[in-house]
């Protein structure tokens, strides 16, 4: 895993002002994640933890294991114990308003990643998920030549996933020849549920042409179901996140065609940057801080063993042709 890449520079690039290096030598940070076992969430939380510890901070991490109430209780416990900041990794901020209010009352930063906007947060670090949903869906439409049957798998609880959903529907607005089967997966248990849902759908819908997944964790079980149905040459999958498993599937013979990849290592690091800048009296001027994603296809996937180069990557398939 690549840890923080020039994190002080990242703060300056985001317009937060350069924090005083190691100005706080006794900072306590509580990191909470509603589902630490999700690969992207795990990477963001682990990177945030490592980055904070590099600065000499004391860090505690809580895994909600899919339980939002337990996650909120853990964050409140950190506040009660006098922690200096809360970092929320991909737990819906609209479901943590009470925690956010308590953090504001205590005068401590509440910084999140991929958790959405809610009153009182210091900032949420992520991507423009609506735009990313448009990008993935546009690529899908092009491969379908504007017609066909699509299965959409998503979990519309997390704000980032709802925004991707909005991008999906906005892009399909003028494509009447594309039929959509919408599936809301169960979380936790999303991997098994995605596999079972796709397996069952293919039994009654052998004319499916594509599967759109709201995040990469669903792509692998969907691919497995498609392969076991003997339809790997007939159905392709588009997704978002760029987790290592999905990128490996794009490299191989699996029916995963593309993912819109996020620099989730850097997101965890930037969350720590924002905490440090805020503790130094330089909070961000916007509550939504978005980082550039990359489009990963068989034409742009990095060789095995190499990371995606987010500093020099493309987001639109036409760029690969134009080079």
Summarize pLDDT for 132-151 with one digit per residue, the tens.
Answer: 999 999 999 999 999 999 99
Alpha-helical regions (H) of the chain: 7-13, 39-54, 68-80, 97-106, 129-144, 159-172, 190-204, 219-228, 244-251, 264-279, 317-322
For the chain, give the longest Cα–Cα distance. Answer: 61
HSE on the CB side for 182, CA within 13 Å? 6
Q: Which residue carries 């999700």 as its tokens?
A: 38
Q: How confident is the model at residue 188 (pLDDT cuts 50, 70, 90)?
A: confident
Summarize pLDDT for 26-74 with one digit per residue, the tens.
Answer: 999 999 999 888 889 999 999 999 999 999 999 999 999 989 999 999 9
Query: What does the buried/exposed string (b/e) look like for 292-304 if buried means 16 or more CB atoms within 10 Å of the residue's CB?
Result: ebbbbbeebbeee
Mean pLDDT over residues 178-200, rounded?
97
Beta bridge partners of 89: 33, 113
What percentage of the chain exceeds 70 in pLDDT?
92
Q: How far is CA 6 from CA 11, 108, 269, in A?
A: 9, 25, 9
Q: Are residues 12 and 19 in contact, defined by beta-carbon separation less than 8 angstroms?
A: no
Q: Which residue carries 């995605």 as its tokens?
A: 194
Mean pLDDT over residues 85-96, rounded?
96
Query: What does the buried/exposed string (b/e) look like for 130-158 if buried means 16 or more CB atoms within 10 Å of the residue's CB?
Result: bbbbbbbbbbbbebbeeebbbbbbbbeeb
Q: Are residues 50 and 311 in contact, defined by beta-carbon separation less than 8 angstroms?
A: no
* CA 136 – CA 157 distance, rounded (Å): 20
Cβ neighbours of residue 63 closer than 8 Å, sequence gap 6 or more: 33, 35, 36, 37
> Can you give the pTM of this predicted structure?
0.84
Q: Which two tokens stand for residue 81?
A: 């114990």
Q: Which two tokens stand for residue 197?
A: 């849902």
Report pLDDT for 18. 38
Q: Which residue carries 């550039």 as its tokens?
A: 292
């Amino acid at each position: 895993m690549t840890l923080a890449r020039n994190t002080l520079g990242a703060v300056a690039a985001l317009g937060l002002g350069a924090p005083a290096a190691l100005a706080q030598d006794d900072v306590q940070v509580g990191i909470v994640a509603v589902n630490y076992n999700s690969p992207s969430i795990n990477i963001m939380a682990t990177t945030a933890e490592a980055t904070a510890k590099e600065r000499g901070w004391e860090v505690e991490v809580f895994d909600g294991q899919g339980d939002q109430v337990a996650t909120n209780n853990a964050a409140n416990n950190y506040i009660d114990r006098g922690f200096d900041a809360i970092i929320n990794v991909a737990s819906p901020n609209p479901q943590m308003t009470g925690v956010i209010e308590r953090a504001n009352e205590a005068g401590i930063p509440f910084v999140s990643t991929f958790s959405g906007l809610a009153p009182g947060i210091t900032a949420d670090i992520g991507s423009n998920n609506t735009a990313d949903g448009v990008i993935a869906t546009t690529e899908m439409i092009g491969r379908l030549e504007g017609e066909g049957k699509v299965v959409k798998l998503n979990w519309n609880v997390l704000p980032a996933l709802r925004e991707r959903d909005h991008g999906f529907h906005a892009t399909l607005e003028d494509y009447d020849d594309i039929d959509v089967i919408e599936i809301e997966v169960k979380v936790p248990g999303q991997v098994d549920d995605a596999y079972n849902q796709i397996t069952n759908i293919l039994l009654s819908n052998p004319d499916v042409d594509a599967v759109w997944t709201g995040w990469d964790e669903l792509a692998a079980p969907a691919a497995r179901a498609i392969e076991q149905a003997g339809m790997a040459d007939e159905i392709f999958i588009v997704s978002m996140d760029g987790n290592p498993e999905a990128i490996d599937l794009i490299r191989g013979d699996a029916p995963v065609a593309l993912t819109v990849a996020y620099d989730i290592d850097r997101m965890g690091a930037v969350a720590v940057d924002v905490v440090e800048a805020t503790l130094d009296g330089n909070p961000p001027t916007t509550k939504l801080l978005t980082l550039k994603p990359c489009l990963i296809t068989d034409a742009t996937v990095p060789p095995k063993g190499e990371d995606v180069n987010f500093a020099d990557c493309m987001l639109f398939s036409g760029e690969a042709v134009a080079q």
